[in-house]
């Protein structure tokens, strides 16, 4: 459970590693270097071999980057990690609030003029364009180069080589041949001869395969080209593919990953590249070919986001199974002397409950179990060093999920240890009100996450409170627990469509004191006409997938409106209905009490 999948650096290692990197930059004749948390496949998650940011700086968050200059090194993190980064990096690194401060202006301010190197596999076309635009006329030049971090990382792990397995059509909902034909028809209609795909989850979805190259995410590293004749050229180590040769069939041609660049250089026709995910190295290789580049979205992104009926049914079943496991844990938790427990005890027991389903393939991310002040660290991960005993009056943020063959789950509940403060209960109730408001929404087609996100924040805003993460992220179907492009976030302009699955997770965090977050997963679906209504446009709504009790003892009931109280009572009644038959008798009795009507 506590196998360290992440590459970490202790703060005291930071100065020596930074000094070694700066020495390499001097040898190369550049004034700075960019170190993102990224790999050549441009997914959100990286294998230990590619976690250069963590190795260099010690920062282990899921998003961020470092700009190393000869006299300053900034670690850029967003609001989720501003507490965490200060605890993880040495004084030789300067935490920078991103995106409040952007890298281009920061480099101009601290360098003035000069050359900044970057690994062309680790930056996308769009990212480089944004950087270059930000420094126009300043004398700053970004130049591609071999990665100097690799040159100083003596014990860098080997590339992952986990075996690949087939993802059954019964849960995928569509054979990969049909997917290839459907997407290829769109390429053909646009006059494109092929599309380069670098995102591991796109390849997994397209070919109905799953892997294990990335911790907690069933992905295999590789590259692919979807051709307009519906064939695919797959660049992936053959040793990974022994079990799926028959599944892939003759229309999927397998090549060594080492052949990818040379193959790109031999393309012709019109080839689609996605500026949001194609690395600069890919663009440079295609530029050497006779092909014309066409810039457009990865053809798998939107079809993958719009789950089909089989995928939604699988996700619903996975959430019922997972909800029963979480409920069993909650029942156990209430019988314990809570102050005798630590965060690690909680994490182990929760995973034990999930494994008892005999269906868990993996957890979907490292469980967040933050009690007291640790709960205020939004993406806190307990370690042996930070493990905190639960104390009377604490709140615990428990954010966790599972990977099952039929779906991916992600649920957050905030638990109380004894009697907690009135301040915490009031904030908890506001967070609950935000979650309920989003869940109950009806909205017109064409509405995006940026239009909805404020609804989940409004109860907190009215009290002068807020939180520094998005309201929700997309979720894959036995894929990544974070999936784009759909999000409930002020920066997301992707219209929500039926079949998209998102998290709904408002929160509130008081640094040094406590954290609160509640999270259910919801699926977008067509909204029926209102009885006797006169809807003049097509409407959408959310349907809840996640079922597990919400801590009634934390709710200030008088703050709830009648509609909010009715929603919560109905939600808890559904919890009893759908979970009871999946629980041991003692857990069912606890559930009955925990979901009693307010």
Separation between Cα atoms, residue 375 and residue 428, nearest integer Å: 13
Average pLDDT over residues 252-277: 97
Burial of 166 (C-beta count, 10 Å sphere; 0-12/13-18/19+): middle
Mean pLDDT for the stretch of residues 99-119:
95
Alpha-carbon distance values, 256 to 61, 209, 236, 238 (Å): 32, 18, 6, 7
Q: What is the DSSP string of 189-214?
A: HTT-SEEEE--HHHHHHHHTEE--SB
Token couple for 31 = 């004034």
Residues in Cβ contact with 11 at an 8 Å cutoff, skipping those fewer than 6 apart: 58, 88, 89, 90
Band (pLDDT 50/70/90 cuts) for residue 252 is very high
CA distances from 240 to 258, 469, 478 (A): 15, 37, 19
Calpha distance 477→308 (Å, rounded): 10
Q: How many CB atoms lie within 10 A of CB 43?
A: 23
- Residue 483: how many CB atoms within 10 A of its CB? 23
DSSP result, 242-261: GGGHHHH-TTEEEE-GGGHH
Shortest CA distance to 309 belongs to which of 185, 179, 170?
Answer: 170
pLDDT over 90 (residue 50): yes
Residues 170-202: tens digit of each pLDDT? 999 999 999 999 999 999 999 999 999 999 999
For 306-594, the fitting CATH number among 1.10.10.10, 3.30.750.210, 3.30.1330.60, 3.90.230.10 is 3.90.230.10
**Token digits of residue 197:** 């795909």
Neighbour tally for 446: CB within 10 Å: 12
* Residue found under tokens 């179907």: 477
pLDDT of residue 175: 98
Return the axis-axis angle of helices 343-355 and 309-335, rounded to nearest 10°: 130
Instruction: Judge contact between 126 and 280, C-beta under 8 A.
Output: no
Answer yes or no: are the C-beta atoms of 415 and 396 closer than 8 Å. Answer: yes
Give buried/exposed letters for 110-147 (b at 16+ CB in 10 A, else e): bbeeebbbbbbbbbbbebbeebeebbeebebebeebeb
pLDDT digits (tens, 9 = 90+) for 423-465: 999 999 999 999 999 999 999 999 999 999 999 999 999 999 9
Residue 10: pLDDT band with limits 50, 70, 90: confident
pLDDT digits (tens, 9 = 90+) for 528-550: 988 876 667 889 999 999 999 99
Q: Is 256:235 a contact under the CB 8 Å cutoff?
A: yes
CB atoms within 10 A of CB 532: 5
Please give the full DSSP string across 159-180, using - where no structure is assigned. Answer: PP-PPPEE--HHHHSS-HHHHH
Domain boundaries, the chain: 11-152, 167-300, 306-594
On the question of a common fold for 167-300 and 306-594, the answer reads no
Q: Is the pLDDT of residue 236 over 80?
A: yes
Categorize the per-residue pLDDT at 1 as very low, low, confident or very high, splitting at 50, 70 and 90.
Answer: very low
Percent of the chain with pLDDT over 70: 98
Total-model pTM: 0.94
- CATH fold for the domain made of 167-300: Creatine Amidinohydrolase; Chain A, domain 1 (3.40.350)
> How many CB atoms are located within 10 Å of the residue 443 CB?
17
Three-state DSSP at 5 gives coil
11-152, CATH topology level: Creatine Amidinohydrolase; Chain A, domain 1 (3.40.350)
* pLDDT for 198: 97
SS3 of 46-92: the string is CCHHHCHHHHHHCCCCCCCEEEEECCCEEEEECHHHHHHHHHHCCCC
């Amino acid at each position: 459970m506590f196998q360290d999948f992440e590459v970490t650096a202790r703060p005291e290692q930071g100065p020596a590693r930074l000094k070694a990197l700066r020495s390499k930059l001097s040898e190369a004749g550049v004034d700075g270097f960019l170190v993102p948390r990224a790999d050549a496949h441009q997914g959100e998650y990286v294998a230990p071999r590619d976690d250069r940011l963590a190795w260099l700086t010690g920062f282990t968050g899921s998003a961020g980057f470092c700009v190393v200059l000869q006299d300053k090194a900034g670690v850029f993190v967003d609001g989720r990690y501003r507490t965490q980064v200060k605890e993880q990096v040495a004084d030789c690194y300067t935490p920078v609030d991103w995106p409040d401060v952007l890298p281009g202006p920061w480099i101009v301010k601290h360098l003035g003029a000069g050359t900044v190197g970057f690994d062309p596999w680790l930056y996308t076309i769009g990212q480089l364009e944004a950087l270059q635009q930000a420094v126009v006329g300043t004398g700053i030049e970004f130049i591609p180069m071999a990665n100097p971090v690799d040159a100083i990382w003596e014990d860098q792990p080997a590339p992952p080589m986990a075996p690949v397995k087939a993802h059954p059509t019964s849960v995928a909902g569509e054979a990969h041949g049909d997917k290839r034909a459907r997407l290829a028809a769109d390429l053909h209609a646009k006059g494109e001869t092929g599309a380069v795909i670098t995102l591991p989850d796109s390849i997994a979805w397209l070919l109905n395969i799953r892997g294990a190259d990335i911790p907690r995410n069933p992905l295999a590293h590789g590259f692919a080209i979807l051709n307009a004749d519906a064939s695919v050229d797959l660049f992936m180590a053959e040793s990974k593919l022994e079990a799926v040769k028959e599944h892939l069939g003759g229309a999927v041609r397998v090549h060594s990953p080492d052949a990818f660049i040379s193959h790109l250089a031999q393309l012709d026709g019109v080839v689609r590249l996605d500026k949001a995910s194609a690395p600069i190295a890919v663009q440079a290789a295609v530029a050497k070919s006779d092909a014309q580049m066409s810039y457009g979205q990865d053809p798998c992104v939107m079809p993958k986001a719009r789950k089909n009926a089989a995928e939604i049914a699988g996700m619903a079943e996975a959430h019922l199974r997972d909800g029963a496991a979480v409920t069993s844990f909650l029942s156990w938790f209430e019988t314990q002397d809570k102050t005798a427990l630590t965060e690690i005890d909680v994490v182990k027991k929760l995973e034990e409950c999930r494994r008892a389903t005999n269906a868990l393939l993996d957890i979907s991310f490292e469980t967040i179990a933050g009690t007291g002040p640790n709960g205020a660290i939004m993406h806190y991960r307990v370690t042996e060093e930070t493990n905190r005993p639960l104390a009377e009056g604490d709140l615990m943020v428990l954010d966790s999920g599972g990977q099952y063959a039929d779906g991916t789950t992600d649920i957050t509940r905030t638990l109380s240890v004894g009697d907690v403060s009135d301040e915490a209960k009031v904030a908890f109730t506001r967070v609950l009100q935000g979650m309920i408001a989003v869940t109950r929404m009806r909205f017109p087609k064409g509405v995006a996450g940026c239009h909805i996100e404020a609804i989940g924040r409004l109860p907190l805003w009215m009290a002068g409170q807020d939180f520094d993460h998005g309201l929700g992220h997309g979720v894959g179907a036995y894929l990544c627990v974070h999936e784009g492009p759909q999000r409930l976030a002020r920066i997301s302009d992707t219209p929500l469509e039926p079949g998209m699955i998102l998290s709904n997770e408002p929160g509130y965090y008081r640094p040094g004191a406590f954290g609160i977050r509640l999270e259910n997963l919801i699926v977008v679906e067509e909204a029926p006409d209102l009885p006797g209504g006169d809807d003049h446009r097509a409407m959408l709504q959310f349907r809840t997938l996640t079922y597990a009790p919400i801590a009634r003892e934390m709710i200030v009931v008088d703050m709830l409106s009648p509609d909010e109280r009715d929603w919560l009572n109905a939600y808890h009644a559904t919890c009893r209905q759908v979970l009871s038959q999946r629980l041991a008798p003692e857990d069912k009795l606890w559930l009955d009490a925990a979901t009693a009507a307010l």
